Amino acid sequence: MTKLPVLLSIPHGGTQRPPELDSHLSITDKDLFDDSDPFVMELYDLGQKVEGVVKTNIARSFVDLNRSLQDLPPQNPDGLIKSSTCYQKPIYKKGHEPDESLTNVLIEMYYKPYHRSIQKSIHDLDLQLCLDCHSMASVAPNISPDGGKKKRPQFCLSNQDGKTCSQEMLELLTSCISESFEIDKKDIFQNNPFHGGYITKTYGNNPIPWIQIEMNRDMYLSKSWFDDVTLSIDSSRLRQLNKQFEDSLNLFFSNL
């Protein structure tokens, strides 16, 4: 089987709590769920069908892989090591936030290995495109760039306003997603509300074109498929979206 020449980065799909933080945490399971990109592994991971997949089991609430090493609290409570969730819920017991030593342990254990995997994949694999894969809340939390504004689109595709891949490539992926997911192109925004995060900005066109993709959670966390009490989901819906994502990439590379 010929693999699609794409690397999929899934930095926010994990839900695990680092054992190093066992005695520090106050975050609830629901708050952890709301702060993650729920079910994105099932949405985006195409396994052996693509050249590479880089993913993590650790939740972004504890180590956000889509941040720079300099992006730390207290200057940014939503940085690499967070003090609160994107909905301003406390992550740690009062006075038990990670100190400098523990922060360094988390960076060495979880952050740096992820980025080394990306760098190795770029060097070793036969790639024509890299995608940083995310989901977005249907209505933005206040901490987001579009916080408190109207409902978000079905997809947002970002290339740092043309810096991480060509506009032609972004337009092609937009058209392929529109066709494969059977949604209008007007429901796929470009660089709005997101312009591409740290991973896209750092590795994009360095040397491989890079696009950040955000899928609206309404596409699978609506009542038709999801129980917000038990946090259980209709797995057939996730399989359908995963297949549509695969179809969009097949269409993309057949027209590239």
Q: What is the pLDDT of residue 88?
A: 85
Euclidean distance between CA atoms 198 and 211, whole angstroms: 12
**Over residues 43-69, mean pLDDT:** 97
Does position 179 have pLDDT exceeding 80, yes or no? yes
What is the fold of 4-255? Aminopeptidase (3.40.630)
Does position 205 have pLDDT exceeding 70, yes or no? yes
Share of the chain above pLDDT 90, in %: 87
This prediction has a pTM of: 0.95
**Residue found under tokens 């993709």:** 213
Half-sphere exposure of 57 (CA within 13 A, CB side): 5
Does position 218 have pLDDT exceeding 90, yes or no? yes
Which amino acid, one-letter code, is at 238? L
- The reply to whether omega before 209 is within 30° of 0 (cis) is no
Half-sphere exposure of 134 (CA within 13 A, CB side): 27
Euclidean distance between CA atoms 59 and 71, whole angstroms: 17
Q: 16 near 57, Cβ under 8 Å?
A: yes
Q: What is the pLDDT of residue 145?
A: 65
Euclidean distance between CA atoms 28 and 26, whole angstroms: 6
Q: What is the pLDDT of residue 142?
A: 62
Does position 206 have pLDDT exceeding 70, yes or no? yes
Does position 141 have pLDDT exceeding 70, yes or no? no
**Over residues 114-137, mean pLDDT:** 97
* Between 158 and 75, the higher pLDDT residue: 158
Q: What is the pLDDT of residues 160-178, one digit of tens each?
A: 999 999 999 999 999 999 9
Q: What is the pLDDT of residue 20?
A: 97
* pLDDT range class, residue 106, cuts 50, 70, 90: very high
**Over residues 37-45, mean pLDDT:** 97
Token pair listed for 98: 């990670």
Query: Residue 171: which H helix or E strand, with range?
Result: helix 167-181
Q: Rounded to the nearest 5°, which phi and psi values hold at 203?
A: -100, -10
CA 82 to chain centre: 16
Does position 24 have pLDDT exceeding 90, yes or no? yes
E strand intervals along 41-172: 50-55, 129-136, 155-158
Q: What is the mean pLDDT of the chain?
A: 94
Euclidean distance between CA atoms 76 and 94, whole angstroms: 17
**Residue found under tokens 């922060």:** 103
Q: What is the pLDDT of residue 147?
A: 61
Q: What is the pLDDT of residue 126?
A: 96
Q: 141 in the Ramachandran plot: left (φ > 0), alpha (ψ -120 to 50) or beta?
A: beta
**Over residues 212-216, mean pLDDT:** 98
**Over residues 199-224, mean pLDDT:** 97
Euclidean distance between CA atoms 62 and 89, whole angstroms: 13
- The reply to whether omega before 5 is within 30° of 0 (cis) is no
Does position 250 have pLDDT exceeding 90, yes or no? yes
Euclidean distance between CA atoms 34 and 86, whole angstroms: 8
Q: What is the pLDDT of residue 78?
A: 85
Q: What is the pLDDT of residue 148?
A: 63
Token pair listed for 12: 């926010």
